[in-house]
Amino acid sequence: MYLFSLFASESCLQHFAKLAHGSVALGEQISFWWSVFSEIHSKQVKYFPTLFTNEYLINDAFFDWNMMQNYQQQFNLVYNQMFGTFPDVSLKYHCRYERGLCLYHSLMYNRRKNCNSYNVCVNICTDNTNSNLCYGQILFFFYVEEKPFFFLKQFMNSKNKFSRLVKPIEQVKDWSMFMDKYYSILRRSISHLVILPCSCIVSKCLFFPLNKDFLVCTPIELETEHD
């Protein structure tokens, strides 16, 4: 018995369904609008290697200025500590950032709905150049000297190990090491605000509440979400 996924055909049918409205002459409508679509969109699309390396902040009108008021004073202080001056009134804030094929949202993006692309893993280099993986929520993005930065609500890493919370599988070698590698425990009750360059972002993450004080976090290694 062979099993085949219907994902591709279902996706195609949904696309065709969007070309028709109502319940009269659906086939004729789909044929007409598909012909228009084919003429407007050139099939000679050229892609370049920069498709995977370009990074930029998206300009749009979906920034939540009401929520921004809750962080403006703290942002000004952190900005001053990092850059030695307070942000200029001309500083423009952004709610989305794209790097290659990955799109990151922020908490200020008022059209995110159930999307949680603001939960991220970041690599913070210490003074001795050792990497330090941390986790948090992106509040918003901005440029400084044409370089993209973001304002992050960073949660404190817990010393507790996730492997201690679940029953080990003794048949699997180094089971605890792999569990603790892919699942981290954060103190959701303790956080601080930092400014980091967007190059520090490693990946998106999934946060699962463990209780009122702790979160379980796991990075998303394979990008599956689209905007």
- pLDDT one-digit tens code per residue, 1-31: 444 555 566 667 776 676 777 777 777 777 7
Domain boundaries, the chain: 7-40, 49-219
- What pLDDT, on the 0 to 100 scale, is given for residue 3? 47
The stretch 166-171 carries a mean pLDDT of 70
109 versus 172: the higher-pLDDT residue is: 109
**pTM for the predicted model, two decimal places:** 0.74
- What pLDDT, on the 0 to 100 scale, is given for residue 211? 86
pLDDT tens digits for range 55-74: 999 999 999 999 999 999 99
Rounded mean pLDDT of the chain? 83
CATH topology assigned to domain 49-219: SH3 type barrels. (2.30.30)
Q: Measured between alpha carbons, how far is 118 from 140 in angstroms, rounded to an integer?
A: 9
